[in-house]
Every structure is written in C-alpha cells, then in structure tokens.
Structure 1
Amino acid sequence: MDKKKRSPEEQMKHRIQLDAAKKIKAKTEKDDIMFGLGVFGIVGWSIAIPTLMGIAAGVYLDNRYPTGFSWTLTLLFAGILLGCFNAWHWVKQKSEEE
C-alpha cells in the first residue's frame, strides 16, 4: 500500500484537523452524558417524591383512621402512578424542546 506523501505543512494541518475533531466529539459526548445523567436524576426524583409522600400520608391515615384496607398501599400505588405520569410529561416536554 502506497501512502500519499504530504508536505510537513499538510501533515501539520491534518493533525490539527484530527485533534479538533476529537475535541469536538469529546465535548458533545460529555454534554450528552451529563444531560443523560441529569434526566435520569430528575426522572428518578419525580417518581420518588410522590411515592414517598403517598407512603407518608398512607402511614398517617392507617395510624389515625384504621380501616379494612391499607391506605399505605393504596397511596403508594397512587404516588407511583402520579410520579410516572409526571416523569413522562417532563421527558415529553424536554424532547419537544429539542
């Protein structure tokens, strides 16, 4: 295989172009990773907070007003549903912005 011979100026220009391309790629990948981690965190918290609030309210209601069913399990399920809807809405809104 015969390599094309380049002048020192062309070789330097080629190296600079390769380095610039690597830096641009690294910057965009870093931004993608950070954005992904941010979305992962926000989605997690948007599900966790309503779930924990539902559990807390359920424990309070179970201790205060005993009934034949469990308020804790009912409000846990409601909190998970609310959190998942909230996360879905947030992700949908962010994807439409981009």
Structure 2
Amino acid sequence: MDKKNFQRQISTKSDRKLKARREAKNIWFGLGMFGMVGWSVAIPSLLGIGLGVWIDTHIQSKYSWTLMLLVIGVALGCFNAWYWIAKESQSD
C-alpha cells in the first residue's frame, strides 16, 4: 500500500467519524428541544388548570375559570415554545 492511498483512507475514515459525531449531536439537540417545547407548553397549561380549579371552588361564577385559564395557559405555552425555537434557530 502506498503512502498516498493510506493517507486518503485515513482522511476518509476521519471525515466519516466527524460527520457521525455531528449528526449524533444534532439528534440529541433535537430531542432536547422537543422536550423543552413540551414542558414549556405543559407547565403553563397545568398552572392554568390548577388556578382555575381553585377559583372555581372558592368563587361562584357562571363561567368556568378552569377552562378559560387552560386556554390561556396553552396559548402562553405555545408563545413560549415559539420564542425558544426562534431563539435557538437564530443562534445556529
């Protein structure tokens, strides 16, 4: 085996390993982002439900505060998730 062929093989293998590492990081980054988006929607929704149930049990009203605050929590969570995704997209 000559020296140039050997160097070409080493270079090819090195490039393949570096590409595999970058793709693995992208996969983990994507999973982390997926989890962050899920929690950023779930937490405001749960807080809205909890506050709504508390208001409904303590204050008489013809409106369902639980339902209203659930919708508000989901809306705030979606806005929060959009903000984080836009911020991460700009940093790349």
TM-score when scaled to structure 2?
Answer: 0.92
Distance 2:6 2:87 in 1: 45
Q: Detail structure 1 runs of 4+ shifted over 4 Å in the superposition.
A: none
Partner of 1:85: 79
Distance 1:43 1:32 in 2: 16
CA positional deviation for 1:54: 0.2
Larger C-alpha radius of gyration, 1 or 2?
1
Partner of 1:67: 61
TM-score when scaled to structure 1?
Answer: 0.86
Aligned pair count reads 92
CA positional deviation for 1:11: 2.9
CA shift digits 1:15-53 (9 cap, x unpaired):
211210110111110111111111111111111100000
Q: Does 1:26 align with 2:6?
A: no
The alignment yields a C-alpha RMSD, in angstroms, of 1.2
Give aligned-pair identity as a percent: 45
Stretches of structure 1 lacking an aligned partner (at least 5 in a row): 1-6
Stretches of structure 2 lacking an aligned partner (at least 5 in a row): none
Distance 2:84 2:13 in 1: 37
CA positional deviation for 1:95: 1.3
- Give 1 or 2: higher helix fraction: 2
